[in-house]
Chains A and B, each alone.
Chain A
């Protein structure tokens, strides 16, 4: 059987089994094991590739970031951050929808997980929004859209996977994700202000109330400071920053703010121990799939096709990659997508002479968008389920919000100097700059 047919067969089996209801890692492995039967590749090598996909040191950050989110949510510490968000923007037109966005901007910097974000926001603000008369479809749409910020800003788990698999600086991706993450956050706030439901108009919180809310939330808000501070000063790798944040929550935040929760910590660890294995086993299976995909020259065929259309124009290459990832992201989750297509991404990054961090942040923003688009917008599906509204209704409410994402993705493609400004200034080496041999500072590629 020729390579094209094998590629088609394994992709078909993955999608067929996946949409039938087979868990994603097993659907991927079924596709790749059957596909390998028609090649020279042994099944032992496939199992080995699955293992290799998980045995990557940088991926250790995932359990730590998920544990941070789990501990913050289960200890009910996040309510303090909700109160702070309410004090800051509760009076702005849009009311609680503005609060959802601001809260997500805070919480995303603690958990790095879109699914944790959507669960926590739905639980904290879903019912209050319903009580204030927001339509359930809009509630699901705004919560899902705001939750995608977690895929971009540090400590984004998607960025960890992208960096670990693509050999791109994870800290650089974290920094480069800040601008598009903030653009989505502020874009959603502007959207809610002009086009969203008015909500209940609250009086502006007096300065004393804002200061009080800030004081109450100060301990949880130190988590992003620890994560970013540790990484930027070079004290910790992203993985180590994650474990330091866990230690901080266990020994400072929970004892200070919810001492009664200490007896439930064993339960949190057991649950988080299960939760983190789910994306990790999927990463392993996707790695085996991606390896066979590359072995069968699938990546080269698509790369040739894209460079045939775009030549070496970096913008056109990125636009075509965004189109491809938008379509793929509509059917597959971001993590397997990144792993399966990383050989293709690497080939095109080189062909277009694109900064790998820039390419990474563009694709992560695209995959974040895929989380709220049909037919498989995981985060929107989850938000609809939590809020109790049909997916199709939530989808209709989300459609106008897509503009925010499309503008952000276009900006990210066409203004690399803005997107890469932060990593260039705080972590120059992460974006390919090197120390100036004849003086102070760094020399950066154009």
Chain B
């Protein structure tokens, strides 16, 4: 199995459109690239500081990569059902009760995602009046990650609602569930 295939979570297949698998894969790869990139910039930050010629802009690049990695990771985790959970009452239910709870859960997530889009966009616009040092880039370039994350989360949540209504939420293969999600190694398929 190639790495690309392994990176698309096989869990909850019945809640996913195949058309969005490419987006999940792209976001997973992006998470890896961003993590690798800020590992590299921090390494160079240490090296340049140690040899007495610090590159100050490295810290700015690092924080940009870090912030985007968090929001892209949070977005793709929504599709993969990998977020941290307090519990999953829904999994203990079946029939109509489960359908209602699953829909309510996703409507709450969708509501928050829409807030990310709308208020995040307004915050992004406000960010053009503040600047990052030393490059003097508007801080809006960082704030842009919030509405982008909102759009992706909303898209993945709508995907789950539509497919859940069509196929039902309670499929046997979806048992991997929340506890594994909180476990780093357990994310491996």
Residues of A within 8 A of B (CB): 15, 17-27, 29-30, 33, 43-44, 46-48, 50-51, 54-55, 57, 60, 63-64, 66-67, 69-70, 73-74, 113, 115-116, 118-120, 123, 236, 239-240, 243-244, 246-247, 264, 266-267, 269-282, 284, 331-333, 376, 378, 381-382, 385-386
Cβ contact within 8 Å between A274 and B85? no
Cβ contact within 8 Å between A22 and B46? no
Cβ contact within 8 Å between A25 and B84? yes
* Given A47-B123, A118-B183, A119-B184, residue A55 in contact with residue B142 (CB < 8 A): yes
Besides A17-B105, A60-B42, 19 new A-B residue pairs in contact (Cβ under 8 A), listed by A number: A17-B108, A23-B109, A33-B111, A47-B123, A51-B67, A54-B67, A63-B35, A67-B39, A113-B184, A116-B184, A118-B183, A119-B183, A239-B42, A246-B39, A264-B3, A269-B35, A276-B35, A281-B74, A332-B86
Cβ contact within 8 Å between B42 and A240? yes
Q: Could you say which residues of chain B place their CB within 8 Å of the CB of A44?
A: 119, 122-123, 126
Q: Could you say which residues of chain A place their CB within 8 Å of the CB of B179?
A: 381-382, 385
**Top-7 shortest CB links A-B:** A277-B73, A273-B31, A270-B32, A23-B83, A119-B185, A273-B35, A18-B86
Cβ contact within 8 Å between B116 and A47? yes
Q: Could you say which residues of chain B place their CB within 8 Å of the CB of A378?
A: 182
Interfacial residues of chain B within 64-101, with CB under 8 A of chain A in the complex? 66-67, 69-74, 76-78, 80, 82-91, 101
* Given A269-B36, A270-B32, A271-B187, residue A26 in contact with residue B109 (CB < 8 A): yes
Q: Could you say which residues of chain B place their CB within 8 Å of the CB of A277?
A: 31, 69-74, 77
Q: Give the docked Cα–Cα distance between A236 and B115 (Å).
A: 39
* Given A47-B116, A266-B32, residue A274 in contact with residue B187 (CB < 8 A): yes
* Given A21-B101, A73-B185, residue A278 in contact with residue B69 (CB < 8 A): no
Is B63 an interface residue, CB under 8 A from the partner? yes
Cβ contact within 8 Å between B69 and A43? no
Cβ contact within 8 Å between A55 and B63? yes
Q: Which residue of B lies closest to A250 (CB)?
A: B39
Cβ contact within 8 Å between B46 and A19? no
> In the complex, how many angstroms separate the beta carbon of A245 from the nearest chain B beta carbon?
11
Q: Which residue of B lies closest to A241 (CB)?
A: B46
Q: Could you say which residues of chain B place their CB within 8 Å of the CB of A23?
A: 77-78, 83-85, 109
Indicate the size class of the contact surface on chain B.
35 or more
Cβ contact within 8 Å between A51 and B35? no
Q: Could you say which residues of chain B place their CB within 8 Å of the CB of A116?
A: 183-185
Q: Could you say which residues of chain A place their CB within 8 Å of the CB of B123?
A: 44, 47-48, 51
> In the complex, how many angstroms separate the beta carbon of B142 from the nearest chain A beta carbon?
7
Q: Give the docked Cα–Cα distance between A316 and B76 (Å).
A: 45
Q: Could you say which residues of chain B place their CB within 8 Å of the CB of A247?
A: 39, 43
> Which of A24, A73, A273 has a CB less than 8 Å from the CB of B32?
A273
Cβ contact within 8 Å between A267 and B6? yes
Cβ contact within 8 Å between B35 and A67? yes
Is B163 an interface residue, CB under 8 A from the partner? no
> Which of B29, B39, B71 has a CB less than 8 Å from the CB of A281?
B71
Q: Give the docked Cα–Cα distance between A65 and B32 (Å).
A: 15
Interfacial residues of chain B within 6-21, with CB under 8 A of chain A in the complex? 6-7
> In the complex, how many angstroms separate the beta carbon of B48 from the nearest chain A beta carbon?
12
Q: Give the docked Cα–Cα distance between A64 and B3 (Å).
A: 22
Is B165 an interface residue, CB under 8 A from the partner? no
Q: Give the docked Cα–Cα distance between A259 and B81 (Å).
A: 32
Q: Could you say which residues of chain A place their CB within 8 Å of the CB of B105?
A: 17, 20-22
> In the complex, how many angstroms separate the beta carbon of B47 from the nearest chain A beta carbon?
10
Q: Give the docked Cα–Cα distance between A266 and B7 (Å).
A: 10
Cβ contact within 8 Å between B6 and A47? no
Q: Give the docked Cα–Cα distance between A73 and B36 (Å).
A: 18
Is B152 an interface residue, CB under 8 A from the partner? no
Q: Could you say which residues of chain B place their CB within 8 Å of the CB of A69?
A: 184
> In the complex, how many angstroms separate the beta carbon of B86 from the nearest chain A beta carbon?
4
